[in-house]
Amino acid sequence: MEAQKLMAISLRNETKKESEYQQKMLLAWVHPVSPVSILKYANARLSWEKPDHDGGSKITCYIVEMQTKEEEGWTTCSESRALEVTVTGLTRGKEYFFRVCAANEKGRSEPKSLLAPVIVKDNSTGPVINLLCNTFSVKAGNDLKIDVPFKGTPQPTVSWAKDGNMLKETSRVNVLTSDTSSQITIKDAARIDVGIYEVIVTNSVGTTSAEIIVNVFERPGPPCEFNVDEVSADFVTLSWQPPNYTGGCQISNYVVEKRDIGSTVWQTVSATVARTSIKISRLTQGTEYQFRIAAENRYGKSPFVESEPVVAQYPFKPPGPPTDLQVVNATKSVMVIAWSKPESDGGSPIIGYHIECKDQSSILWTKLNRSPMTITKMHTSLLIRECVRKDSGQYTLTVQNTGGTLSKVVTCKVLDRPGPPAGPLQVSGLSAEKCTLSWGPPLENGGAEIMNYIVEKCETSRVSWTLVYGDMMATTCKVTKLLKGNEYLFRVRAVNIYGEGETLESEPIKAMDPYTVPSAPTDVEVTSATADSMTICWKRPDSDGGSRISGYIIENREKQGIRWKRVNKKAVYDLRVKASGLHEGCEYEFRVFAENAAGLSEPSNPCPLTLAEDPKFLPSPPAKPTIIDSSKSSITLSWNKPLFDGGAAITGYKVEFRKSTEEDWTVGVNNTDKTDFTVNGLTSGIEYVFIVRSINKIGISEPSPETDAQVAMDREEEPRFDISPEMRKTLLVKDGGSFTLTLPFTGKPVPNVTWEKANVDLRVRGLINTTSSVTSITVEGATRDDSGKYMVKLRNVAGNASLTLNVRVLDSPGPPTHIVVKDVTKNSATVTWDIPENEGGAPVKNYYVDIRDISRTGWTRLTDKCHRLSYRVSDLEEGGIYFFRITGENEYGIGVPAETKEGTKMRGTI
């Protein structure tokens, strides 16, 4: 039903009572959004257009009213600013009238009515898909959007499927459905997106669906079933099958290349092969070749698939001669002859025979048959085209006649890629970072031994598979580098000599640790306290959650405080910790968390409140001191810290001594913060004993046990070197660099130190520095002459000691030695030499040989690649006098040259 259109009319009242415009507005109707008949659910949706004029004030809302045929008054249905409205709650079978008026701040417009009544009827319809095309193509890497319009009453629901399975939406594949259409968006299209998609539209009336074929255009996969069918001395025949994946479009051609097995360069045989076979000619007999093939479409070339190396040679030899040739029957015009097969067929089945004859008086043989003669017998054959793995098995041939029955079993093995591994693909030993996969060998091995398995993984939120193992030999493997919380799929396929088989896929598995957080620590207590610190101890948790405890976190809180504060920045591994930085006079409570790989435990119960104050205890005394040195007037002793500090830090130690024959103690030092002390001013030859007392802020401890009696006298110790095994290794120094050899030593009295090196005065070449316990030598600007052995000698009245250190300066070699010119003729000579005495830290790898005529000053290079200790020079002038120069080279550079001192005259032998 078409609705009438009326223009909005604005009326102006120009009375003095109103200075503003009074507007009245009429609306222009359009027909309802849906046909006049209403939906099954008794709803009606109406729409209209704005008035042509708003009366000078913005329209605030539209008022929709309705009236049944039996009623006289109008009922308000809706007040809104929208240009359409859905009226609900209608009664099926009744007739309704509708009208709409616009309102602004001055009031309502005149209403506009829908002239014809609306009858509520059941208007349900089944879903319909209006798809113009069901095949869509996209280039790999591009985005694809497919919009499927549909309609139906009531509003249908939409679902998508791919290759018979419900479509899983990912970050790349999304579905957006509106009231009238459903759109699928595929971002960065890839090979995995190829397939048959099905859109299913359903409402209460029925269900309909449509199939959509999606192709992704990209480079094809490699050809498969690559075979070398025939090999001869100068040609080979290759065949293959088209790729399993063509890249979404037709294969245009194949590229065939070859290479000599001794070369790395591939040569193109043909780049325009249209069929799946080729004969490659002009090969060299006896040469080993390798071939490779790639498929090509309009989007590029696939990866190459390579053959095994093949030697170009005949695969067989000529057969031997037939045997037992005889004439079976003869007439005037015909002879019947018979023979037996040759003893050897040369490695190839006999395909026929050539027959020749000659007269008894002739010497020429005449050929009787133009082509080879084939001997046939009664036979039967079974031809199976395009064999697959399932065609493997035992075939029984039964022959029957009146004389009986004969059966023969023939075993057929179809050579093909293997089937999927035996499932299920089990996942065990799962953690947040790794798991173990296991599977069974394929039930169908394709007629060949399984060489290895290919294992891949894929996050369920992605579409790409990642290679884990490409050559797994076992039927179990460990997968690492998983991301905690991510869900993974795994798949395995077997490989034999004919290619990769079908895949076996696992169920989705989430990478999660099999353990939990530990239980809380127990028995937290403060074992000692001072004014600014406390020591807290606790016991291990009853359960570690299945994972080793990696540390503990400690927190404290003041009595009047609310927040807990962390005590330790890093996790502690012991069952106690010292909390410092406390406020004197405050009370503190502590709690402890245990931590493992899964995280932190619940906090322990807090310990009782403890007051931060200094303890009221003296420290314990040190253990028995030890005499470590003595002289005529002094004795040195050392001791360890006391086991108990009294709850306060040890601030020092008091040392006392007495003569072993006396009772009174003398103070050596009142307070020293060290754990060793030298008592001076003693009488030579007198025996003394010593004690030590600990000191903290509370006071001085009881004395330690007395030392053993010690006479004040000089000690004698043999000199020795105090070095590590690392210092005995050869020191490597770059040319021009500097190095220092430092050696700590001991000995009493202090030994005399000397440095020596063969043929070198080290006091001039280096800087020697010696103290009472360390000696060192520093050499600046090191050269090859500084390589060698450096000997250090120590000597005192108690004995001697020596040590040899090796230094190697990494420099170019020195001059070669013993240059001799021999085997001199009128135009040639041989120069010989020996390796340099100093090769510069690395062996000489080659020598430079130069020559100079006596009449010239410049040298001419004969060779820079001489690897021997001699070189023969030819094409010299007779009577000429020549000088020769030899220079060594190692990995650090060209060395010092050496030349002949006298010229060599070219003359013939006498």
Instruction: Using the predicted structure, report yes or no on whether residue 604 has a pLDDT greater than 90.
Output: yes
What average pLDDT does this structure show over 386-413? Answer: 75
Per-residue pLDDT, 447: 82
Question: How many domains in the chain?
Answer: 9
What average pLDDT does this structure show over 170-188? Answer: 91
CA neighbor of 57 nearest in space, from 22, 20, 13, 105: 105
| Summary mean pLDDT of the chain | 85
Q: What is the pLDDT of residues 308-332, one digit of tens each?
A: 999 988 877 788 898 888 887 777 7
**Based on the domain organization, do 563 and 632 belong to the same domain?**
no
Between CA 45 and CA 41 the distance in angstroms is: 12
The model's confidence at residue 382, banded by pLDDT at 50, 70 and 90, is low
Instruction: Using the predicted structure, report yes or no on whether residue 30 has a pLDDT greater than 60.
Output: no
What is Dmax (Cα atoms) for the chain?
157
User: Would you say residue 85 lies in a domain?
Assistant: yes
What average pLDDT does this structure show over 441-467? Answer: 89
What average pLDDT does this structure show over 540-552? Answer: 89
Range of the domain at 635: 626-709
User: Would you say residue 736 lies in a domain?
Assistant: yes
Between CA 753 and CA 745 the distance in angstroms is: 10
The model's confidence at residue 22, banded by pLDDT at 50, 70 and 90, is very low
Residue after which a domain boundary falls, among 784, 810, 836: 810
Q: Pick the residue with more confidence: 409 or 11?
A: 409
Q: Pick the residue with more confidence: 840 or 289?
A: 289
What average pLDDT does this structure show over 860-868? Answer: 90
Tokens 């310990």 found at: 607
Per-residue pLDDT, 209: 92
Per-residue pLDDT, 23: 31
Least confident of 115-124, 238-247, 842-851: 115-124
Residues 6+ away with beta carbon under 8 Å from 378: none
Q: What is the pLDDT of residues 331-368, one digit of tens each?
A: 776 777 888 888 888 777 777 778 888 887 888 888 77
Residue after which a domain boundary falls, among 120, 144, 172: 120
Per-residue pLDDT, 401: 67
**Based on the domain organization, do 643 and 665 belong to the same domain?**
yes
Instruction: Using the predicted structure, report yes or no on whether residue 8 has a pLDDT greater than 70.
Output: no
Q: What does the buried/exposed string (b/e) look like for 555-581 if buried means 16 or more CB atoms within 10 Å of the residue's CB?
A: bbbbeeeeeeeebeeeeeeeeebebee
Do 828 and 809 form a contact (C-beta atoms < 8 A)? Answer: no
Per-residue pLDDT, 591: 95
Q: What does the buried/exposed string (b/e) look like for 298-325 if buried means 16 or more CB atoms within 10 Å of the residue's CB?
A: ebebbebbebeebebeeeeeebeeeeee
Instruction: Using the predicted structure, report yes or no on whether residue 4 has a pLDDT greater than 70.
Output: no
Instruction: Using the predicted structure, report yes or no on whether residue 10 has a pLDDT greater than 80.
Output: no
**Based on the domain organization, do 299 and 342 belong to the same domain?**
no
User: Would you say residue 618 lies in a domain?
Assistant: no
CA atoms within 13 A on the CB side of 559: 10
User: Would you say residue 11 lies in a domain?
Assistant: no
CA neighbor of 812 nearest in space, from 730, 732, 888: 888
Per-residue pLDDT, 36: 33
The model's confidence at residue 379, banded by pLDDT at 50, 70 and 90, is low
What average pLDDT does this structure show over 156-178? Answer: 90
Do 19 and 133 form a contact (C-beta atoms < 8 A)? Answer: no
User: Would you say residue 2 lies in a domain?
Assistant: no
Q: Residue 679 corresponds to which tokens in the numbers above?
A: 């008592």
Per-residue pLDDT, 788: 87
DSSP string, 22-76: -----PPB---SS-SSPPTTS-EEEEB---S--TTS---EEEEEEEESS--S-EE
**Based on the domain organization, do 303 and 339 belong to the same domain?**
no
CA dist list (Å): 302 to 272, 276, 467, 576: 14, 15, 19, 66
User: Would you say residue 317 lies in a domain?
Assistant: no
What average pLDDT does this structure show over 263-290? Answer: 90
Between CA 883 and CA 902 the distance in angstroms is: 7
User: 622, exposed or middle or buried, with CB in 10 Å at 0-12, 13-18, 19+?
Assistant: buried
**Based on the domain organization, do 405 and 437 belong to the same domain?**
no
The model's confidence at residue 908, banded by pLDDT at 50, 70 and 90, is low
**Based on the domain organization, do 297 and 334 belong to the same domain?**
no
The model's confidence at residue 390, banded by pLDDT at 50, 70 and 90, is confident
Instruction: Using the predicted structure, report yes or no on whether residue 393 has a pLDDT greater than 80.
Output: no
Do 504 and 421 form a contact (C-beta atoms < 8 A)? Answer: yes
Instruction: Using the predicted structure, report yes or no on whether residue 750 has a pLDDT greater than 90.
Output: no
User: Would you say residue 298 lies in a domain?
Assistant: yes
Per-residue pLDDT, 21: 30
Per-residue pLDDT, 437: 93
Q: Pick the residue with more confidence: 519 or 335?
A: 519
Total-model pTM: 0.30
**Based on the domain organization, do 30 and 101 belong to the same domain?**
yes
Instruction: Using the predicted structure, report yes or no on whether residue 6 has a pLDDT greater than 60.
Output: no
Per-residue pLDDT, 820: 92
**Based on the domain organization, do 702 and 776 belong to the same domain?**
no
Instruction: Using the predicted structure, report yes or no on whether residue 1 has a pLDDT greater than 80.
Output: no
Q: What is the pLDDT of residues 57-93, one digit of tens each?
A: 889 999 999 888 778 888 888 888 888 888 888 887 7
Helix (H, G, I), strand (E, B) or coil at 726: helix
User: Would you say residue 621 lies in a domain?
Assistant: no
Per-residue pLDDT, 545: 86
What average pLDDT does this structure show over 842-866? Answer: 90
Residue after which a domain boundary falls, among 198, 217, 236: 217
Do 166 and 173 form a contact (C-beta atoms < 8 A)? Answer: no
**Based on the domain organization, do 667 and 736 belong to the same domain?**
no
Which CATH number goes with the domain that contains 794? 2.60.40.10
**Based on the domain organization, do 23 and 114 belong to the same domain?**
yes
Between CA 468 and CA 264 the distance in angstroms is: 29
**Based on the domain organization, do 166 and 137 belong to the same domain?**
yes
Q: What is the 8-class DSSP label of residue 389?
A: G
Q: What is the pLDDT of residues 487-511, one digit of tens each?
A: 999 999 999 988 898 899 999 998 8
Q: Pick the residue with more confidence: 415 or 693?
A: 693
Q: Residue 237 corresponds to which tokens in the numbers above?
A: 């025949």
Q: Pick the residue with more confidence: 355 or 541?
A: 541
Neighbours of 629 (CB within 10 A): 15
The model's confidence at residue 17, banded by pLDDT at 50, 70 and 90, is very low
Q: How many residues does the chain have?
A: 910
**Based on the domain organization, do 733 and 802 belong to the same domain?**
yes
Share of the chain above pLDDT 70, in %: 92
